[in-house]
Chain A
């Protein structure tokens, strides 16, 4: 059935999928807006949104409106941007490494960002001294971002040989960096006092509560990075054929690798800076998307971004209500769902190889 659809309308079918995903995202956002400690009826949410964009004259009562505007909406916006960034970063990395299990979490970018954040929390005041209050709330996000960029730099330098980078070696070096970064996080966790431990869990398990206005630069970086990465569909398709073949077909392979890895690192670093480590979105979103659209990156990239946004919006809604009145770290939600999904993926792959 799917094949026959593709036959007759090769592009339309996949454009329809993109439109359906957008609609699903809107539905997820509306439902998520209504969900939480204070339940707000769906009708009220829709009236409130309509009021905002000028379609409806009367709004809803003051308390609900304040909950939506000051608590849930910013949170859901963060979920959308971060989810899109992670989903897209995963899709780009899988193509770049020509390996379906690549993910920002696996090659150590996320862990290194967390390492940066944790280091700043625990020893930041010692290292920065009197400057510590100056950087204020920007300190930790900037350290997370720095950690991601530093890790990517190290991975790139170590995997270069004779002016070329080998994608397979790069992946393995990333795995090693991942282990080192997690060990570093462990060391700082051991050193931390009680108050610091509280904020450490935030970075290790993820949360969308945000750091207020300090998040703005990171959100801008993510949005810009996402827009850049969305344009790489065709070159990444060629990359899937192999590096030599991509070059034969006109791709400046080293340029592409450099830009794609650096921008991906910026995006993931910024995501971790806002929300801590949220695993599996980068892995799960592109795979879900490929089941429907096939492997063509011109569709996989935008669809992964939307799918990542949907996953994170839903996961956030679950995290907010499942242990009321407390809130479950969102990284736990994505991990609980993502881990088994990953296993299922491996089993499916195993079965296919045997054929």
Chain B
């Protein structure tokens, strides 16, 4: 079962921000969303997350229309890493990450929660920050906290790996089973925007691992063509609220298509280590490009 947007349109104040978009976030796959600023990428993510309601079309999560599913149940099957979240109250980082466990507060044990929180903090490389107050962190550090929070949520009752899974026993076992037959989804809104290069790759690798090893359906909004090629399985390109391309990464990521969408010359250059990299050309003379 997937997270599917079927023919959705979203209208705000008479403007079509999305028009007839159909995408499917499939378990086990990484779907990248690409497009210029204002193309409707974040709007699409918000519609998929149930945060905005589409004017037309439906969104189904595991086969059911999300408008009829209680927020709690949606949250047990889908986690979102936001672009930026502000919080004025000085929660420590570990507590913010632990908030990701709250959809499971009636099902989970404290032991499992603590274990998952520890593992996520490790993966997001925020171990050294875990006792710091969240509002005092830098933008990139905050994003890593939200990655960890989204991870403990998307792990649900199955856990980060087989070891955690063995902790779920007894009467919770049936509930855990019910949970595990439903697919889970992770939506990341420009997750790399505030991160340094090394942490960008860590994050992308973590997201890809969730898809390929834990069978999570991952959607992420990205801006870097080469990251799309390296980490995504499929890609959707949006422009002015319309879908201009979708499909497997190798078929969509062509210099001609991207040059047209981004209105900027993009070339493929062969990499001495094999394959090709996409590079955009610098604009040295702004007057020429405006003319």
**Binding stretch for chain A, among B70-78, B226-234, B250-258:** B70-78
Q: Which residue of A lies closest to B50 (CB)?
A: A247
Q: Which residue of B lies closest to A7 (CB)?
A: B131
Q: Which of B70, B86, B95, B99 contacts A252 (CB 8 A)?
A: B70
Pairwise interchain contact B75-A249, C-beta atoms closer than 8 A: yes
Which A residues lie within 8 Å of B74 (CB)?
A: 250
**A238–B87 CA distance with the chains assembled, in angstroms:** 10
**A151–B92 CA distance with the chains assembled, in angstroms:** 36
**What 0/1 pattern do residues 226 to 246 of A give for CB contact below 8 A with B?**
000000001001101110110
**A48–B136 CA distance with the chains assembled, in angstroms:** 52
How many chain B residues have a CB neighbour from A under 8 Å?
Answer: 33
Which B residues lie within 8 Å of A98 (CB)?
A: 87-89
**A252–B49 CA distance with the chains assembled, in angstroms:** 13
Pairwise interchain contact A240-B91, C-beta atoms closer than 8 A: yes
Which B residues lie within 8 Å of A245 (CB)?
A: 80, 82, 85
B153 within 8 A of A: yes
**A239–B102 CA distance with the chains assembled, in angstroms:** 12
Q: Which residue of A lies closest to B94 (CB)?
A: A10
**A7–B87 CA distance with the chains assembled, in angstroms:** 22
Q: Which residue of B lies closest to A94 (CB)?
A: B89
- The minimal Cβ–Cβ distance linking A121 to chain B, given in whole angstroms, is 40
Known contacts A238-B99, A248-B75, A252-B70; decide if A100 and B89 are in contact (CB<8 Å).
yes
Pairwise interchain contact A99-B88, C-beta atoms closer than 8 A: yes
**A251–B96 CA distance with the chains assembled, in angstroms:** 16
B273 within 8 A of A: no
Pairwise interchain contact B80-A248, C-beta atoms closer than 8 A: yes
**A100–B72 CA distance with the chains assembled, in angstroms:** 27
Which A residues lie within 8 Å of B103 (CB)?
A: 249-250
Which B residues lie within 8 Å of A290 (CB)?
A: 89
Q: Which residue of A lies closest to B150 (CB)?
A: A248
Q: Which of A99, A242, A250, A294 contacts B71 (CB 8 A)?
A: A250
Known contacts A244-B51, A355-B136; decide if A250 and B102 are in contact (CB<8 Å).
yes
8 Å CB interface, A65-121 against B: 95, 98-100
B40 within 8 A of A: no
**What 0/1 pattern do residues 274 to 312 of A give for CB contact below 8 A with B?**
000000000000000010001110000000000000000
B177 within 8 A of A: no
Central interface residue in A98, A244, A290, by most chain B CB within 10 Å: A244
Q: Which of A241, A251, A295 contacts B90 (CB 8 A)?
A: A295
Q: Which residue of A lies closest to B91 (CB)?
A: A295
**A100–B51 CA distance with the chains assembled, in angstroms:** 26
Pairwise interchain contact A242-B87, C-beta atoms closer than 8 A: yes
A3 within 8 A of B: yes
B79 within 8 A of A: yes
**A21–B89 CA distance with the chains assembled, in angstroms:** 22
CB-based closest 3 A-B pairs: A250-B75, A250-B72, A295-B89
- Which B residues are closer than 8 A to A by beta carbons? 46, 49-51, 70-76, 78-80, 82, 85-92, 95-96, 99-100, 102-103, 105, 131, 136, 153
Query: 7 A-B pairs, CB-CB below 8 angstroms?
Result: A98-B87, A238-B99, A242-B82, A244-B46, A248-B51, A250-B72, A252-B70
Given A244-B82, A245-B82, 19 further pairs, Cβ under 8 A: A3-B131, A7-B131, A98-B89, A234-B105, A240-B87, A240-B88, A240-B91, A242-B85, A242-B86, A244-B46, A248-B49, A248-B75, A248-B79, A249-B103, A250-B71, A250-B75, A250-B102, A252-B71, A296-B95
